[in-house]
Every structure is written in structure tokens, then in C-alpha cells.
Structure 1
Amino acid sequence: MKEEEIRDILNSHQICFAQHGTLCATVKAGIGAYQNGLGEIMHTMKDHILHINAQGIAILAVDDINGAPQEHTLLFLPHEDIVSTTIKIKLLHFLFTIETRKGTIVYKLHKNVLASPWHKENLSFLLLNAPSA
């Protein structure tokens, strides 16, 4: 998967693309994810693309079969709806928590993702700039 694909999808929905803002993540199914609008896709497509920019966080589900981002699943969480974000370091991965007014969404961020070489660089950038890491 190319980062340019994600940029094109975001631009077509008038969402600004931020350099080093795109990550691959696996959603941990929960009530908060359901309440934030991920109910239909969190069980069928667990892998997501997260794009973090100054306006908020865009979430795109990734097809489990072909690995392509699914544009029709785009969900945007505006900055004003996000209460906080935190990153916790685990042994083999990181937990990225998005707390919104509707509930908490937890994602697992792997250190390396096949077919997404940009993920590792963007994850390093996020960790360097995250106050809670």
C-alpha cells in the first residue's frame, strides 16, 4: 500500500494530508469504538489506517483480503471531539488510545508493517513528538 493512495483519498474528502501523519493500526474492539462509528467495520476489517493532522484523526479500514484502504469506511474525528490521545509502550507493540466525548478507541501499533515501509518512519516521528510516550 502506498502512502500516496491515502493522500488521494483524504484530499478527495477535503482532509489535509500531514507529512509523517499516517500509521497502520489494529483496532481493539470495544464499546468506545462502536460509539464513535466503527461498529460496522471493527469486526470485519480490524486493520485500519490512522492519519493524524492538526484538524483531527482520519480512520480508514483496510480490506483483509487485498490490503487496500476502503474509502467508503472513512471516519473523521475532529480535534474538538478528541479529549486526549496517549501512547503506551508494550513489549512487542504500542497501544495508541484515542479518548473522545463518545468513548475510548484503542489501537495496537506494530513496530513494522509489511507492505507499508512508511509506517516505521511515521511511528518513530509520532513517538518523538508524543508527550506521553
Structure 2
Amino acid sequence: MSPETRFADYIDTFNNRDYERLVTFYSPDIRLMNGTGRELVGRDAIVNFYKKVNAVASRKIAICASLSDGETLAAELKSTFTATADAPDFPSGPLAKGDQLYINSFVFYDIAEGVYVRIRAAIFERRWMRLAEKTE
């Protein structure tokens, strides 16, 4: 399986919140620097972080493009978060129930022995659509 095909499978697993399967894509001591500058170390830290995010917002990631040399995969991603509850402490900024946040990011995945060992994300664009704006 190509790194790009495996990555598409990873994103599908992420979108479906299959946390048991998600950890199989990570090395035990993976390091993730997310787009907000927060560093997460280890599989459990990553899964626990996204479980908290997904408790207050649904997130869907779309792959715009990805390419890999087998050791690093680079991707442009578009994420849509829809708040399912008020989230004043949401990592990217406060959200009220029904608000949406769109993030366009560039992400590098370092690969060793078929799993991700380091992930680095940078946000290119961030847009909010507030519920009040949608109902006017």
C-alpha cells in the first residue's frame, strides 16, 4: 500500500473516530505539534486530546493533496469543526453550539517502519461561521 493510500485510510479512521484503530497508525512515542502550537507526546495523549475535541465538536477532514517519499508525507488538509455544544475553551478559540470553524492546514508526517513517528501542523487559513451569522 502506498503512503498516500495508507494516509487516506488514516484520515478515514480519524473521521470515523475509530480510536482503537487510530493508534495503530502511530508509534508508541509519537510527537504531534498541532496547528495551535500544542505538543502532544504518545498515542494516549493524542487520542485523549481528540476525544475531548470530539466531545464538543464534530470534525471532518478532507485531503486536498498529499505526497510522500516513503519517509515523510506532506499534506494539505481542510477541516470542518461543527460545535455540538458550547465550547468556550475550544483549542482554536471559543465556539458556541452550532458554530463552525474551517481550518486549512499543511501537515508533515514523518514515517518509520510503516507508522507515524512525528506530525507537524501549520495553519494556513482559519475561518469561523457563527450560528448567529447563519440565521440572519
- Which of the two has greater strand per residue? 2
Normalising by the smaller structure, the TM-score range is 0.3 to 0.5
Which of 1 and 2 has greater Rg? 2
Q: TM-score, normalised by structure 2?
A: 0.33
Q: TM-score, normalised by structure 1?
A: 0.34
